[in-house]
Each structure stands twice: as C-alpha cells, then as structure tokens.
Structure 1
Amino acid sequence: MSQQLGGQPILILKEGSSRTRGRDAQSINIAAAKAVAAAVRTTLGPKGMDKMLVDTIGDVVITNDGVTILKEMDIEHPAAKMMVEVAKTQDDEVGDGTTTSVVVAGELLKRAEDLLEQDVHPTVIAHGYRMAADKAIEIVKDLAIDVKPNDADILLKIAGTAMTGKGAEASKDKLCDLIVRAVTMVAEEDGTVDLDFIKVEKKVGGSIEDSGIVEGVLIDKERVHPAMPKKVDNAKILLLNAAVEFKKTEVDAEINITSPDQLQMFLDEEERMIRGIVDKIIASGANVLFCQKGIDDIAQHYLAKAGIFATRRVKKSDMEKLSRATGATLISSIDAISPEELGFAGIVEERKVSGEDMTFVEQCKNPKAVSIIIKGGTEHVVDELDRAIEDALRVVEVALRDKKFVAGGGSPEVELSLRLREYAATVGGRAQLAIEAFASALEIIPRTLAENAGLDPIDILVDLRAAHEKGQKTAGLDVNTGKAGDMLAQGVVEPLRVKTQAISSAAEAAVMILRIDDVIASSKSAGPSPEEMAAMGGGMGGMGMPPM
C-alpha cells in the first residue's frame, strides 16, 4: 500500500503486510465462513454423523456437538473465527442449536454472494437481513406454545430432542427421565434453575443403562480412617471449613527445650488441643464430618473411636452443594460448632463405583442439589454422553425459564421461509431481494436434515412447503418415513430460545462479515527488520559482528 508523490513511493503499511480489498475481500471472507458451516453441516439432525477430532498430542474427541467441533478445530482465518463465536454464543445462551446457528449463518452468506454478483450493495443486503431477522423472531414467537413447569411430558420430549442424533440415543428414555427429574428437583418455585446444583459424575465402566441419579450429593472422596463406619443412617452432618489439627504459632518464636520432660509436655499439649477440637465435634451430636481442609492423624483416630464418618479436603463447590442438599451451615471456625448448624441426610455411605470409593449423601428431606452418575463402555462414550446430557439439561432449564417451546424437525424454518416471502412482497424495493434471500437461506435446515437422512432434499422441501401452505404450521421432516409429518404430535420440540437465538446470532454474524470490504493483515515478520537492527545498535557492527 503506497502512494506516489513526485516519483517517491510513501510506504504506509509495514513491509510484508497484505491487503485485500473490495469484492476479493468479501469473497475470501464468505468462502472461509462457508467452509466452517460445511464442516459441521453433516452433524445436524437425528441422522447426523459424528466427527473425530485428533489434537496435536493425539487426544481423540468423538462428537456430534457443533460447538465442541468448532472449539477443537484450530481455526486460523479471522472470518471463520467469527462463525465459531456464533456457535459459542448459542452454546452459552441455550446450550443447544449450535450447528443450526452456524449452518444458517453460512447459508445467509452464500445467498448474499449471489446478490453481490447482481450488484446489490452490501449495506442494502445487511439492512434487508436485519429486517428479516426481526420479522422472523416475531413470527417464531407467534408459533411458540406455552409449557407449564410441571408438564413433565413436554420436558421429556424437549430433553429427548436435544439428545437425538448424539451417541446417547440408544438409552434416551432413561437419560431424559434422569435429566427431567434432576432439573425439577433443583428448580425454585418461580421456575428458575441453577444448573450448578446438578453435578454430573462421569465413570467409565458398565453401560449407559447403569447411569442413575442420586437424590443428594455424590462426592469423589473416601473416609479418612478405615475404622470409621462405612455407612451412617440418619446422618447429622457437620460441614467444616477449618482444619482439624493443632494451630501452629504465627509468631516466629524460638522455644528452648532443655529437658525431655518439657518436650513430652509440649507433645501432650498438642494432643490435648486436638482432643479438644474432636470433643467439640462429638458434643455437637454430629456423626458425619465433611472437612474442606485437613484432618490430623491423631484426630482421625479419635473421630474413628467416636464412630464418626469423616472425609477431608472436600472441594468448595461440593461443600456448597452439600449445604444446599442437607441444610447444614458451612462453619469456618471450630468455636462456632453447635447442634443447630448441622444438616440431615437419611444415609451417608461409602460405596465403590467402577473400582473407586465415593461417598453418597442420600435421602435428603428436600434435595435442592442432586447428582447424576453417567456410565459408559469407553472414555469417549462417556465424554459424548456428558456433552449430550449437558445440552439436554440446559435446554430443559431454558424451557422452564422462558415457558415457551416450538416444534422442531425443520418445521419453524419452513413456516418462517413462507411468511418472510409474503413479508418481502410488502416491503418492496431492493431490501425485498435480501429478505427473500433470508427466507431461502432458512430452508437450509430442513434441506440438511433431509440430506443427512439420505433423502432427496428437493422432494422433501416441495412436500414441506405444500404442507405449510395448507396451514399445517408444525409440519416438519419425519426422518423415519421420509415424508412431512406433524412434529408436535411426534414430540420433536425445542425451546423457543434455541430458534430466536440461532436466527439473531446467525444474522448478526452474516451482516458483520458482509460489511467488511477491506482486510488489512499485518505481516508475521520472523525477526526485526534491518532498519530496526540498525536502530538497536549501529548496524551489524553493534551486534558484536566484525565490521564489513
């Protein structure tokens, strides 16, 4: 990039910087974004395929989850990175629909490219896309159906839709049941759910069917002393965030011991201090102790003699869950221990799970924290199960929060496409072209669902459009029969927010990429330039080399 001034070139950009302008820049950015969309497109829908991602050290991830694929792929191109952001936003907001949002964004850009070739200005397309996105969200909200927080049937279907097409499908009913039970247990009265209180523990071993739910908390710790009871019924639980060991002096004091008796007295005093702490714990009536810090050997012995079940170095997050599940207060000082601070659980027991000792805290009166154990044959299976369950939990939570859902299976997209075309006709002008392009772009979803199921996308689209023109608003693709079917009746449903978020973030990303007409990339220079070297120390001579 240089200007001629009286025959003298003026360099503005550093040497080696590259600059792409105008249509070239747009084509390159759109191509990069389309490539990202193409990478995840085959994973969409109930018959979508999985991707195997191998990182630099050879770790393998096998997944169907759009955002996981994009995070694991090392994406370099700046426009492609913007597409990954779309998926991340979708994941943070709703947890599902990441592939949908990226595929729609890619298709919006592809349609925009056709318009650019017809010399429609990018800002006109951007304006039309914005209008279309606003209108689309308005239409989707009209399509939405209310869900009541106690309507377990619909929630099961919503969880099921989020899990379909992932590795968990074989035992979907079982897992969806666990998910809905877990979410409804920790839900507050107003329908809000804090998913932090649902702990998902992964264990390799057994099969997916062996997964279960613990109505309480599961802690990856064993008791500290073998003489302690393995199982405590009617547990009175003390949660302690203080070390059960003697306090060392904070002051740097030197103690001169001159005779063995003095040393013995010193040691006896230490033991007495620990006895005092243990006596306080016993006096409170607690028979189970969860300690966030350490428990001294001597203390372990006394606790075991008193028949108290104790574990140490419990994670802070687990302590908070225990507090919520059992109603115990977290105590930070030994002196604050008292009977009214204790919590209650029906059973506290140490059990082996896949060869590891874990502590189960069960039968709490009103468990506001629960744990789900998931099992599977191999590590990869368990990881993918975990991702599927994570998505399903988030989706059920969103459905409870917004209390609205829509039919899935490509039905909202076909309906939107139809209604947006009608809307485009009323807008007129050049924006009409962009709105029509937006309408066509949305059809990529039913189209991809058909392709992934090995069906003819054109036949399916014709079929679906015909059904929607007859007013069947919930007609979507039934992948099993290969025809249009009523998605609502089949229980293919998703939260409204999955759709609204996907449309708005896809439109925003597409508009942002479209408006770029100039890409200026600074050079990746390996070392300092000769001019910089000269400035650093008198040319090469300054670098300690012999002068030429």
Structure 2
Amino acid sequence: MAQNGQPILVLPEGTNRILGRDAQRNNILAGKVLAETVRTTLGPKGMDKMLVDGLGDIVVTNDGVTILKEMDIEHPAAKMLVEVAKTQEDEVGDGTTTAVIIAGELLKKSESLLDMDIHPTIVAMGYRQAAEKAQEILEDICIEDIGKDTLVKVAMTAMTGKGTEKAREPLANLVVDAVQQVEEDGVVDSDHIKIEKKDGAVVEDSTLVQGVIIDKERVHPGMPKEIENAKIALLNSPIEVKETEMDAEISITDPAQMQAFIEQEENMVKGMVNKIADSGADVLFAQKGIDDLAQHYLAKKGIMAVRRVKKSDIEKLAKATGAGVVSNIDDLSADDLGDAGIVTEKKISGEDMIFVEKCKEAKAVTLLVRGSTKHVVDEIERAIDDAIGVVAATIEDGKVVAGGGAPEIEMAKRLKDYAESISGREQLAVTAFAESLEVVPKTLAENAGLDSIDSLVDLRASHETSPYMGLDVFNGSVTDMKEAGVIEPKRVKKQAIQSASEAAEMLLRIDDVIASTSTGQPDMGGMDPAAMGGMPPMM
C-alpha cells in the first residue's frame, strides 16, 4: 500500500533490520556461541585461550572476563553478555565464566520453549520467578563459619586452575593477610592493595610488603639508598622555581644583576629544601617534578627523594604511613609526616624500586608478584586479583557456599520441586531454568575428561542426603565439598545467577533489531542483510 505508488521510507536506505523470531534466534545464537567460547576454561581442569591482537601482543589466560574483553566482539547481543562478565568482575572479581555459561544455557533452553509457541514474555517471567527462588535456596544452603582457614580455602578455590597451581597455598595466605590488613569496619577497599609484578623469578618468591612499593628510583645518586625509621613527606606540588603567571621581561644592564637574579632563584629552591628538612622529613615522595638544583640540595641534606609518583601511589602511601598529602611546601610541618620502619631502594629484575616497609598499622599493602616470564606473571596477577575479590566478598558478607557444582545441583533439584507448584506455562520456564543451572557441574565434568551424564546422575543422587556434595574433578568422584575445603563466596553465585537471568530476559524480549549503517555496520550473526529481512518499506 504505497501512496501514489511511492513507498514511504521511515529509516535510512541500507539500514539492516531483523524482525520477530529471526531476531530472537539470532540473539540466542550469539549468546550460545559466546558461552561455548569461554566454556572450556571453567574449573580446575579448564583450558587456556591464547588471544593475539592486531599488533601481535599475546595474552594467555583462562579468565573469562579477560577473554571477552580482549576478543573483538561485534554482535550487539554478544556485547550484552560481555557486560554480564564485566559486572560480575566489578562486583565480585570471580565467577565471570560461570555467569556467561549460565546466560548462554538459559538462552539455549528458551529456544525449545519458543518452538513450543510459548510467548517470550512468559519465558522471561518464568525465569524471573526461578531466579528469585534460586536466591532463596542459595541463602538456605550457605555456610556462615568464617575464620582465617575458610578465607584461605576461598582464595585457593578461586586460584585453582589459573597457572598458580604449585604455589596456590602460599599465595592464598598472602592474599588473606593483605585483605585482612586493609579491612576497616568490615569493609574492604581492594584499591588499597597494590599488585606490583616482576618477572625473572619463581612464583614462590612472591611477597607481601606491609607498606608500598613504588616502581621508581631516587632522583639523585648522592641520596641515601636506605633510611631506617623514616619520616615521610608527601607533596603534590613541584619543587622548582615557579614561572611567572604572565609574560614579563626583565631588563638587566649589569652582569652583577644577572648573578643576583640567578642567586635569588637558587635561594628560592634552597628555601624550599630547607623547609622540607626543617619539618624533620628524610624521605620525600613528590607527585610532580623536582628541579635539578633541588635534587642537589636534597642530596646534601641526606633526604631520599622520588619524583613523578602516581597519584594512586601517593594515596596508598598516605594510607600506609599515616602521612598527609601537602599541596604547599610552606604548610609542611612535622604533623604531616608519615612513618615507616625502613625505606630502601632495591634492584628487582634489573630495575630499581623503592620499598616503603614495616609501616605500623598499614592500611595499604603491596603484593610483589613474581613469575618466570611476562605472560606467567600476568596470569598470576589475574588469579590474585580474583582471589582478592572473593576474600573481600567473604569478609564483607560472612557467607560461603560449597564449590564443585554443589549449589547449582541443589538449586536445580529444589527448583524442579518448586516448578510443580506453579500452574501455567511459567512452570516450563522454571524447569528450564533449573536444567540450565546444571550446565556448571556438567561443564566441570566435561573439562576434566569425565562422562558428564554419569557425573550429573551421581550428583543428583548424592543431593538426596547432603546439599554440599560436589564433583571432585581430580579423582572423578562425588565428594563433600565442605569437608574437602572447596568453597566459594555466596556473592559469586548470587551475582552470577542474577546477571545471567536478567541478561537472558532482556535478550528474549527483543523482537526487532534495527542496525544503522552510519556508525559502521555491526556483524549481525554473519547473515546476509537481505536474508534477515533487509529494510522493508514502511507504508
């Protein structure tokens, strides 16, 4: 029905559009493909991915969110699932792969429900009901016994299978000590834990410093290399002669005037250094520059100085030493100084670094991570990052659950019982949700080379007696995970289920994808635009 035989185009010519079931199938397919990509990395026996960017830089990892961030993903629905992984990383620091594969499985199960002519809104409502019930079940099966042993086990579970295998226990102890050190009133700010990585040594050489390591060196070779019982000044203004605010010309008619002018500048710099020395400081960390002349005078006064220290490091130094950050040298006094047992310049892997150690009641600490090569160190850093996140979540919430797929099997079992109490088509969606959760133990079994069907059958049977029975992938048997010490924070599971179900619901409700060509055409699942309905005339 065109007016006067002329079709009316509402959208620009060349716009791609996918409608109805095609749009849903396309989005579901994208979700499934993404979940399959990261699925093989799950668990202690998960494999790694090698990612090579356009410049040839290599990342070797089995950390779900790192893989998804490094992949150049174009499909709009797949990008939404990457957001699930990023949210999981930000909120908990671990469980990113779990969240993505649950989301992928929910989309996969929804496909068969849509084929049965169940409306997408009904499926989404059923998923929402199931997610709420799953959170209740999770609350019911969580464990509230949180001591240092529990925290170490949580950290070890998070690091298992991430390249830290042989040293996971000492590393887990370092992580727990670091998190407990920076915890204040039951809250952990992981920004106060600095991770400094250096290759050229074995993983076991990694250490925890009660203070801060600064990846800088002294500004002058004449300065002391080591100072005990250091008094530390933190400055965020430069130590140099200030330029005039406006353009000015100085007319000099006599060489003596020139000499006086230079001396005046020198005296200004000397005055600044004297103020620092008079405050009692013997170590100075400056966020900005230090003039060559100032370096000379500081060295003569026996003050160790470091310049152009990152703002984040200055903040950590303030937390660790108790020093105040001063903006104006004139305001610097003994009250602004911080304390450290020892400040040393050490050479690590061929590079000089400043160690600020033995700080009393340090509320900022540094983990010095070692490894044989750059790629090994990078992967250990990611593992430690995950461990810090889960230990912090455990301290803040005080609740953990068993690992090895135990909570997923228990939730699936109880959700199937719950589904029978629901009338209407939502019952089918709740059952599909329950079956989707079983993808976690199923994948753990597959990645360990076990028969996934046999493992699932054994797990379901064992859950008639205990909610803590999970899959021990090392010997292929069903074991009490609480007794085996394989435990995870409740927040990891809670966030994974919440993010996965919300992403699946959102994708299911999309029945029309309109892609503009003006901003670069996204990859719509590798299909020909014409095969996706193209852009029909809007009449």
- Separation in structure 1 between the aligned mates of residue 9 and residue 136 of structure 2, nearest angstrom: 51
Distance 1:6 1:251, change over 3 A: closer
One-letter code of the match for 1:211? S
> Please, which of 78, 84, 87 is the counterpart of residue 85 of structure 2?
87
Indicate the percent of aligned positions where both proteins have the same amino acid. 63
Which aligned pairs between 1:137-286 and structure 2 lie closer than 5 A?
A: 137-148=135-146, 151-188=147-184, 190-286=185-281
> Please, which of 494, 507, 511 is the counterpart of residue 501 of structure 2?
507
Aligned to 2:526: none
- Separation in structure 2 between the aligned mates of residue 425 and residue 139 of structure 1, nearest angstrom: 16
How far does the alpha carbon of each residue in 1:118-171 deviate from its partner, in whole angstroms, 9 at most, with x for none?
A: 1112111111111000000111011111244xx111111111111111111221
Distance 1:340 1:423, change over 3 A: same
Would you say 1:424 and 2:419 are equivalent positions? yes
Aligned to 2:113: 115
> Please, which of 446, 468, 473 is the counterpart of residue 474 of structure 1?
468
How far does the alpha carbon of each residue in 1:243-278 deviate from its partner, in whole angstroms, 9 at most, with x for none?
A: 222233324332111111111111111112222222
The 8 Å contact of residues 187 and 194 in structure 1, kept in 2 or not, is answered as yes
Compute the displacement of 1:8 (Å): 4.3
Distance 1:249 1:119, change over 3 A: closer
Distance 1:113 1:358, change over 3 A: same
Compute the displacement of 1:5 (Å): 4.7
- Separation in structure 2 between the aligned mates of residue 433 and residue 247 of structure 1, nearest angstrom: 74
- Separation in structure 2 between the aligned mates of residue 314 and residue 120 of structure 1, nearest angstrom: 60
Higher relative contact order, structure no. (Cα contacts within 8 Å, ≥ 6 residues apart): 2
- Separation in structure 1 between the aligned mates of residue 311 and residue 324 of structure 2, nearest angstrom: 13
Secondary structure at the aligned position of 1:374 is classed as strand
State the number of aligned residues: 521
Q: Which moved further from structure 2: 271-280 or 459-468?
A: 271-280
- Separation in structure 2 between the aligned mates of residue 247 and residue 107 of structure 1, nearest angstrom: 63
Q: Which moved further from structure 2: 248-257 or 330-339?
A: 248-257
One-letter code of the match for 2:155? A
Q: Which moved further from structure 2: 457-466 or 67-76?
A: 67-76
Distance 1:309 1:522, change over 3 A: closer
Aligned to 1:444: 439
One-letter code of the match for 1:485? T
Aligned to 2:530: none
- Separation in structure 2 between the aligned mates of residue 27 and residue 503 of structure 1, nearest angstrom: 22
The 8 Å contact of residues 147 and 399 in structure 1, kept in 2 or not, is answered as no
- Separation in structure 1 between the aligned mates of residue 277 and residue 482 of structure 2, nearest angstrom: 58
- Separation in structure 2 between the aligned mates of residue 242 and residue 7 of structure 1, nearest angstrom: 73
One-letter code of the match for 2:167? S
How far does the alpha carbon of each residue in 1:460-488 deviate from its partner, in whole angstroms, 9 at most, with x for none?
A: 00000000022x10000011221110111
> Please, which of 37, 40, 45 is the counterpart of residue 39 of structure 1?
37
Distance 1:354 1:421, change over 3 A: same
Distance 1:418 1:525, change over 3 A: closer
- Separation in structure 2 between the aligned mates of residue 297 and residue 6 of structure 1, nearest angstrom: 82
Secondary structure at the aligned position of 2:498 is classed as helix
Aligned to 1:543: none
Compute the displacement of 1:39 (Å): 0.4
How far does the alpha carbon of each residue in 1:377-414 deviate from its partner, in whole angstroms, 9 at most, with x for none?
A: 11111111111111111111111111111111100000
Compute the displacement of 1:7 (Å): 4.8
One-letter code of the match for 1:181? D
Aligned to 1:535: none
Distance 1:525 1:262, change over 3 A: closer
Secondary structure at the aligned position of 1:222 is classed as coil
Secondary structure at the aligned position of 1:366 is classed as coil
The 8 Å contact of residues 40 and 69 in structure 1, kept in 2 or not, is answered as yes
One-letter code of the match for 1:418? K
- Separation in structure 1 between the aligned mates of residue 252 and residue 301 of structure 2, nearest angstrom: 34
- Separation in structure 2 between the aligned mates of residue 266 and residue 465 of structure 1, nearest angstrom: 87
State TM-score, norm by structure 2: 0.94
Aligned to 1:495: 489
> Gaps spanning 5+ residues in structure 2: where?
522-539
The 8 Å contact of residues 289 and 309 in structure 1, kept in 2 or not, is answered as yes
Secondary structure at the aligned position of 1:469 is classed as coil
Secondary structure at the aligned position of 2:13 is classed as coil
Aligned to 1:311: 306
Compute the displacement of 1:10 (Å): 3.2
The 8 Å contact of residues 16 and 525 in structure 1, kept in 2 or not, is answered as no
State TM-score, norm by structure 1: 0.92
Distance 1:19 1:300, change over 3 A: closer
The 8 Å contact of residues 475 and 484 in structure 1, kept in 2 or not, is answered as yes
Distance 1:255 1:489, change over 3 A: same
Distance 1:13 1:257, change over 3 A: closer
One-letter code of the match for 1:496? K
One-letter code of the match for 2:389? R
Secondary structure at the aligned position of 1:223 is classed as coil
Secondary structure at the aligned position of 1:382 is classed as helix
Secondary structure at the aligned position of 2:449 is classed as coil
- Separation in structure 1 between the aligned mates of residue 363 and residue 34 of structure 2, nearest angstrom: 41
Compute the displacement of 1:364 (Å): 0.8
Aligned to 1:532: none
Secondary structure at the aligned position of 1:213 is classed as strand
Distance 1:525 1:344, change over 3 A: closer
How far does the alpha carbon of each residue in 1:333-368 deviate from its partner, in whole angstroms, 9 at most, with x for none?
A: 111121222111110110001110011111111111
Distance 1:336 1:122, change over 3 A: same
- Separation in structure 2 between the aligned mates of residue 213 and residue 255 of structure 1, nearest angstrom: 55
Secondary structure at the aligned position of 2:201 is classed as coil
